[in-house]
C-alpha cells in the first residue's frame, strides 16, 4: 500500500495548450485536478507561438462535413502509411467537438478564412481550416495570475516585448508607418493608448494578449474558476505504478519537498516534447543538428522518460522528427540570443534564398517547414542566405530588421553581423562567402522574373499558399520583385525545430501504449509528448496546437467517462 501525500482524480504534467485543455475539461467534467508545471511560468511553448489551431470541419465553415471528408483525403495523400490512420480519424472526428466544447466555456477563436493549407497542390487541401485565439484581456486574470503567463517571443511584439498585436494588426501597423491609411493610423493610436494606460497602471507589459498568450491565458482564466490547482516550479521525476501495472500517481518535487500524488483517474503527460534537449536532438533530428529552438527550456523530454519507465513506448521515427522553420540568430540589446522565425518575409517580392553556391534552391514562398526540408535536401544550404535589396528591405523588413526603419537604425544589425551589406551584389557575395558570379546571375534572374511575373526556376508566385504572404499591391506578381536597388543585404538562416513530432505511441483516447500495443492503464499523453498524428508532415497552420487541444480534450473525457461508469482506465 502506497502512502499518498495528496489525492486527486486527474494529475496533469505541463501547462501548454494540451495540458491546460486536459485540466480544464477534466475539472469541468467533475474531476478533481492538479496541474504540475516545471517552470515558474504558465503556457509552455504554446505561449510563445502564434496560438493558431488547425481544425478541419469546424462549425464556421460552410459545409463542415464535406470539409472533414476532404481533409481526410488530404491527410491520406500527405501522410499515407507513415502515421496511424485511426489517430487521424479521431482527430478529424473530434477536433470540431473539442473546439466547440472550449467555446462553451468562453475560450474564443476567430476564423482565419483565407488561411491556405501548406500543400495546396494535394487532393483535399483546403482554405479556412485555421482559427486564431481571440485577443484576451489579461486584466481578467488579476495581477498575480497575469504575471504567471509566459512572455511571448520578443521579436513578434512592440516596445521590447511589452505590446502584443495580431498578425493582421502587424500588417496594418506597417501601413501606418508608411503613411498609407488613416484607418491604420487610428488602430496604431488605439493600441498605443491602451499600452500606455497599462504601463501607467503598473503592469510590466500590455494586458491585451494575442496569439499563443491569448490562448493559454483564456484557458488559465477559465481553469481558475474551477476547483483545479496549479503548482508552479514543480516537476515529477517518477510515475508510481501499482502491482497491476496501472499508473496510480507520481512523485512530485516542489519547493524542496517531495510529494507522492495519487491520481485516481489518471496522469496526463503534456510536458512539451524534447526540442530543448540537445542530446535528444542529436539522437533523433537530422544533421547538421539544430543548435537552437524557440521551445521553452523545460521541453527536455521529461514526459517521454517518465512514460517509458512505466511501460510506454515511443512511436516509429518519422523522417526528421520535428516541425521546422528557418530561423536567424540575432543579438538582443540585453545580450541574449534571439531566434527569429522567418515565417512570412521569405514570400515577399525582392527576397531570394541562396545556398553557399550563390544560387537559389527553393521556392521561397513555401511553408516554413517545407523550406527547411529543402535546406536539408541541399548539401550547401545550411545555413542559407536570404538576400534582398534596399527597396525591399525598407518596405518589408527582413527578420529582426523591421520595415520602414531609417538607415541609421540598421547600424546595430550591421555592427553585430546579423545583417550583411554590400554596395553591389558582387560585394555582398564576398561578405557572405558565396560565388559572386552565381549571385549576380541569381539577382539578374530575379529581375527578369519580376518583370514578367513568372518564376520558371522554382515557381515562386504560383501557389495560393505563397500568394497569401506576398504584397497584394505589387504587380504583376505579389511574390516577385527585382533585386536592383543598392545597397544589397543578406541574413543567414538555419534549420530550427519549433516542435518535435517523435513521441509516445497513443491510441484514439490519448492513452499511452506499450510495445505490444496495449494501453498503459492510467496514463495519457498529448501535445508534443505524443507521437504526431501527421507524422513529421505539416498540413496547415496550427496542426500541432489543434491536435494538442483535441487529444487533451479526449484524454480528460476518457478519464471522466471512467469515473462516471466506475470502470478502470
Is 23 within a domain? no
Rounded to whole angstroms, how far apart are CA atoms 273 and 277? 9
Share of the chain above pLDDT 70, in %: 90
**96 φ, ψ (degrees, to nearest 5):** -60, -35
Is 332 within a domain? yes
Of the two residues 105 and 335, the one the predictor is more confident about is 105
Q: Which helix (H) or strand (E) holds 441?
A: helix 436-452
Q: Which pLDDT value is given to residue 163?
A: 47
Residue 217 and residue 141 in contact, taking contact as beta carbons nearer than 8 Å: yes
- Which DSSP string corresponds to 323-386? EEEEEEEEE-TTSPEEEEE-SSGGGSTTEEEE-TTSSB-S-TTS-HHHHHHHHHHSTT-SSEEE
CATH of the domain at 330: 3.90.700.10
The structural domain count of the chain equals: 1
Residue in 239, 230, 233 with CA at minimum distance from that of residue 263: 239
The bridge status of strand 257-269 relative to strand 519-525 is: parallel
Return the ∠ at Cα 407 (arms to 485 and 427), rounded to 5°. Answer: 45
- Which DSSP string corresponds to 192-211? HHHHHHHHHTT-SS-SEE-H
Rounded to whole angstroms, how far apart are CA atoms 37 and 45? 12
Q: Which pLDDT value is given to residue 149?
A: 95
Look at residue 388 and tell me whether its pLDDT is greater than 80: yes
Q: Which pLDDT value is given to residue 319?
A: 80
- Cell numbers standing for residue 449: 522574373
pLDDT grade, residue 453 (50/70/90)?
A: very high
Rounded to whole angstroms, how far apart are CA atoms 131 and 215? 11
Residue in 154, 138, 151 with CA at minimum distance from that of residue 217: 138
Q: Which pLDDT value is given to residue 159?
A: 47
Rounded to whole angstroms, how far apart are CA atoms 360 and 341? 20
Q: What DSSP character marks residue 267?
A: E
Is 353 within a domain? yes
Q: Which pLDDT value is given to residue 246?
A: 97
Is 422 within a domain? yes
Is 316 within a domain? no
200-259 per-position pLDDT tens digit: 666 677 788 999 999 999 999 999 999 999 999 999 999 999 999 999 999 999 999 999
Look at residue 194 and tell me whether its pLDDT is greater than 80: no
Q: Average model confidence (pLDDT) for the chain? A: 92
Rounded to whole angstroms, how far apart are CA atoms 52 and 109? 9
Angle between helices 64-78 and 85-104 (to 10 degrees): 140
520-542 per-position pLDDT tens digit: 999 999 999 999 999 999 999 99
Residue 222 and residue 35 in contact, taking contact as beta carbons nearer than 8 Å: no
**CA dihedral of 51, 54, 60, 62, whole degrees rounded to 10:** 150
Is 88 within a domain? no
Is 469 within a domain? yes
Rounded to whole angstroms, how far apart are CA atoms 22 and 15? 9
Averaged over 63-78, what is the pLDDT? 98
The rounded Cα 487 to chain-centroid distance in angstroms is 34
314 - beta bridge partners?
504
Burial 273-308 (b: 16+ CB within 10 A, else e): bbbbbeebbeebbbeeebebbbbbebbbbbbbbbbe
Is 160 within a domain? no
Q: What share of the chain is helix, strand, coil (3-state, %, to 5)?
A: 35, 20, 40
Averaged over 498-511, what is the pLDDT? 98
Share of the chain above pLDDT 90, in %: 84
Residue range of the domain that includes 457: 324-497
- Cell numbers standing for residue 243: 502491482
Cα distances from 57 to residues 68, 113, 507, in angstroms, run: 5, 13, 21
Q: Which pLDDT value is given to residue 49?
A: 92
Residue 536 and residue 320 in contact, taking contact as beta carbons nearer than 8 Å: yes
**170 φ, ψ (degrees, to nearest 5):** -60, -40
Contacts 24+ apart (CB under 8 A), 197-206: 199/162, 203/138, 203/143, 203/146, 204/147, 204/162, 205/151, 205/161, 205/162, 205/163, 206/159, 206/162, 206/163, 206/164
Angle between helices 17-28 and 85-104 (to 10 degrees): 60
Q: Which pLDDT value is given to residue 187?
A: 58
Q: Which pLDDT value is given to residue 192?
A: 63
158-185 per-position pLDDT tens digit: 545 554 455 565 555 555 555 555 566 6
Amino acid at each position: 500500500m502506497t502512502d499518498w501525500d495528496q489525492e486527486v482524480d486527474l494529475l496533469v504534467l505541463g501547462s501548454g495548450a494540451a495540458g491546460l485543455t486536459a485540466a480544464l475539461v477534466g475539472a469541468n467534467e467533475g474531476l478533481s485536478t492538479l496541474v504540475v508545471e516545471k517552470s515558474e511560468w504558465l503556457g509552455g511553448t504554446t505561449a510563445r507561438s502564434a496560438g493558431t489551431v488547425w481544425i478541419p470541419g469546424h462549425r464556421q465553415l460552410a459545409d463542415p462535413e464535406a470539409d472533414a471528408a476532404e481533409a481526410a483525403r488530404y491527410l491520406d495523400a500527405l501522410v499515407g502509411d507513415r502515421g496511424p490512420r485511426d489517430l487521424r480519424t479521431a482527430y478529424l472526428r473530434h477536433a470540431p467537438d473539442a473546439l466547440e466544447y472550449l467555446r462553451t466555456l468562453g475560450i474564443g477563436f476567430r476564423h482565419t478564412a483565407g488561411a491556405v493549407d501548406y500543400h495546396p497542390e494535394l487532393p483535399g487541401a483546403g482554405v479556412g481550416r485555421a482559427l486564431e485565439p481571440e485577443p484576451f484581456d489579461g486584466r481578467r486574470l488579476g495581477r498575480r495570475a497575469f504575471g504567471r503567463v509566459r512572455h511571448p517571443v520578443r521579436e513578434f511584439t512592440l516596445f521590447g516585448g511589452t505590446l502584443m498585436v495580431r498578425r493582421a494588426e502587424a500588417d496594418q501597423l506597417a501601413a501606418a508607418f508608411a503613411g498609407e491609411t488613416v484607418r491604420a493610423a487610428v488602430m496604431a493610436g488605439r493600441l498605443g493608448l491602451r499600452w500606455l494606460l497599462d504601463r501607467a497602471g503598473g503592469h510590466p507589459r500590455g494586458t491585451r494578449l494575442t496569439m499563443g498568450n491569448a490562448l493559454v491565458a483564456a484557458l488559465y482564466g477559465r481553469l481558475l474558476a474551477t476547483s483545479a490547482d496549479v503548482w508552479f516550479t514543480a516537476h515529477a521525476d517518477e510515475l508510481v505504478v501499482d502491482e497491476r501495472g496501472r499508473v496510480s500517481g507520481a512523485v512530485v518535487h516542489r519547493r524542496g519537498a517531495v510529494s507522492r500524488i495519487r491520481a485516481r483517474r489518471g496522469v496526463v503527460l503534456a510536458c512539451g516534447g524534447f526540442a530543448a534537449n540537445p542530446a535528444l536532438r542529436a539522437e533523433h533530428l537530422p544533421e547538421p543538428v539544430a543548435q537552437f529552438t524557440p521551445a521553452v527550456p523545460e521541453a527536455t523530454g521529461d514526459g517521454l522518460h517518465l512514460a517509458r519507465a512505466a511501460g510506454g513506448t515511443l512511436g516509429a521515427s518519422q523522417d526528421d522528427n520535428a516541425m521546422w522553420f528557418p530561423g536567424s540568430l540575432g543579438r538582443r540589446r540585453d545580450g541574449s540570443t534571439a531566434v527569429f522565425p522567418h515565417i512570412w518575409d521569405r514570400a515577399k517580392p525582392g527576397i531570394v534564398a541562396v545556398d553557399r553556391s550563390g544560387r537559389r534552391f527553393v521556392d521561397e514562398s513555401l511553408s516554413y517547414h517545407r523550406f527547411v526540408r529543402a535546406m536539408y535536401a541541399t548539401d550547401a544550404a545550411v545555413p542559407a542566405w536570404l538576400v534582398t535589396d534596399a527597396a525591399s528591405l525598407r518596405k518589408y523588413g527582413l527578420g529582426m530588421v523591421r520595415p520602414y526603419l531609417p538607415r541609421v537604425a540598421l547600424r546595430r544589425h550591421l555592427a553585430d553581423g546579423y545583417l550583411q551589406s554590400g554596395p553591389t551584389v558582387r560585394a555582398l557575395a564576398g561578405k557572405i562567402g558565396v560565388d559572386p558570379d552565381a549571385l549576380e546571375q541569381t539577382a539578374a534572374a530575379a529581375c527578369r522574373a519580376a518583370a514578367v511575373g513568372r518564376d520558371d526556376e522554382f515557381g515562386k508566385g504560383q501557389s495560393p499558399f505563397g500568394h497569401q504572404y506576398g504584397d497584394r499591391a505589387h504587380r504583376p506578381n505579389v511574390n516577385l520583385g527585382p533585386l536592383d536597388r543598392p545597397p544589397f543585404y543578406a541574413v543567414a538562416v538555419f534549420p530550427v525545430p519549433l516542435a518535435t513530432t517523435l513521441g509516445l505511441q497513443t491510441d484514439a483516447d490519448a492513452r499511452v501504449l506499450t510495445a505490444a500495443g496495449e494501453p498503459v492503464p492510467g496514463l495519457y499523453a498529448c501535445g508534443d509528448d505524443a507521437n504526431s498524428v501527421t507524422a513529421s508532415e505539416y498540413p496547415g497552420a496550427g496542426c500541432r496546437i489543434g491536435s494538442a487541444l483535441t487529444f487533451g480534450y479526449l484524454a480528460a473525457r476518457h478519464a471522466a467517462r471512467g469515473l462516471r461508469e466506475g470502470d478502470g482506465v
